[in-house]
Structures are given as C-alpha cells and as structure tokens.
Amino acid sequence: MHSINKKLALVSLLLICGCVHADISLQMTSLLERRALASGVDITQLGDLNVADVTQSGQAHYAVLLQQGVLNQILLQQTGYGHQAELVQTGNNNIANISQTGESNLIRVEQWGNRQLSIEQSGVGERISIVQY
C-alpha cells in the first residue's frame, strides 16, 4: 500500500508543478498485488470511486483494465501461467469478479452500466468473451 501512496503523492506533485496534464481522480483505488514473473497490468480509471483489485501469482500474466464512470469495481485473480484479461467498464455501478486458473486462458469483458458478472475460468487455452449492455 505504501507504493500506491507514493505514486499518488508523485502524481499530485507533478500536477501541482504543471508538468503533467491529466484528468485524474484521487478518489480512485487501485490495488495491485503481484507475485509473478514477467507479468503486467495496465489500469486506466476515469471518473470517481472506481476500484481495481488485481492479484497475479504464477508467471506471464497480462491484464488491461479500463474503467470510465462512477462506482465500477473489478476483482481479478490470475493464478497459473500465461493468462490474459481485457476488461472494460463504461458507465456506473458495474461489478466484475473474475478468477483465472490453469494455463493460457483469455477473458474479454465489456460492461455498459449497472451490470454484474462473476467468472471462474480454469483449464488450458480457454477463451471467453462477454458484452453486457
């Protein structure tokens, strides 16, 4: 949690000195817990009170998360090897709880307001794509 506070302080400092031009909500919460080798997460949050909680254990996982709106929540757990997740939440009050176990699984999810889903994906090479309007 200390690294998150340091990053928010750095972003605040850069915004104060005019070095960065960005629309950043300081009410956002991003929690990234990585216990993986060569894994990565890209999180973009635009709006207020969005939560992204990512846990990666194993190797070679990658996740891209985009949240636009208010009160969106993503809980993503990747365990095993080589999982990919692409999650987009647009609008308000979306919730996605996703767990990937096994090897080389892919999940793509789009939610467009007041939607909820829970996915447990396990196996090898499994693919899921969901769009909720």
The 10s digit of each residue's pLDDT in 9-61 is 333 333 343 443 344 443 445 555 555 467 999 999 999 999 999 999 999 99
Do 128 and 106 contact (CB within 8 A), yes or no?
yes
How many Cα atoms within 13 Å fall on the side-chain side of residue 13?
A: 6
Q: Residue 93 has what pLDDT?
A: 97
CA distances from 25 to 5, 29, 51, 81, 109 (A): 14, 9, 12, 33, 23
- How big is the chain, counted in residues? 133
Global pTM value: 0.75
Mean pLDDT of 71-90: 97
At residue 45, the 3 state secondary structure works out as strand
Do 102 and 124 contact (CB within 8 A), yes or no?
yes
Mean pLDDT of 70-94: 97
Encoded tokens for 72 = 């969106």
Domain spans in the chain, listed from the N-terminal domain onward: 27-132
Mean pLDDT of 97-105: 98
Tens of pLDDT along 62-73? Answer: 999 999 999 999
Q: Residue 103 has what pLDDT?
A: 97
Encoded tokens for 32 = 């990234």
